[in-house]
Amino acid sequence: MKICKCNSCGNVIEILDDNGGNLVCCSEEMELMVPEASDGAREKHVPVITKDGDEIIVSVGSVKHPMDEDHYINWIALENGDMVTRVNLNPSDEPEARFPYVKGSIVYAYCDKHGLWKAIVE
């Protein structure tokens, strides 16, 4: 999963078919988001995965991330091989999502201030 952000306007995109071109927004090259590259608190951003039958509950993070208008978890996504499932969140929501349990899949959480974070489903 490749996510890029415009550091000028804040647009976030997912690259669905990577052909190597330069992605430009607001006349600047977009930044490829690297998980856990920001100085945000790990305990508020690293997704916590709890198995619940044949599903997982993903909470961000071990200390609940704020869900304020100007700082919140915008989405949580699960990548399992060729399949990506994303739950978009709003500031009034809990920073949580449910997905089917698939061992080895990757969970991503995107904070609008602190970028991309991930965890592996055990």
Q: For binding to Fe ion (CB under 5 A), which residues are involved?
A: 40, 111, 113-114
Nearer to Fe ion, 20 or 74 (CB): 74
Nearer to Fe ion, 79 or 112 (CB): 112
DSSP secondary structure code for residue 95 in this structure: S
Strand partners, 33: none
Nearest approach, Cβ of 46 to Fe ion (angstroms)? 11
Q: Are 112 and 72 spatial neighbours (Cβ–Cβ below 8 Å)?
A: yes
DSSP secondary structure code for residue 21 in this structure: P
Nearest approach, Cβ of 104 to Fe ion (angstroms)? 26
Nearer to Fe ion, 6 or 73 (CB): 73
How crowded is residue 9: how many other Cβ atoms within 10 Å of its Cβ? 10
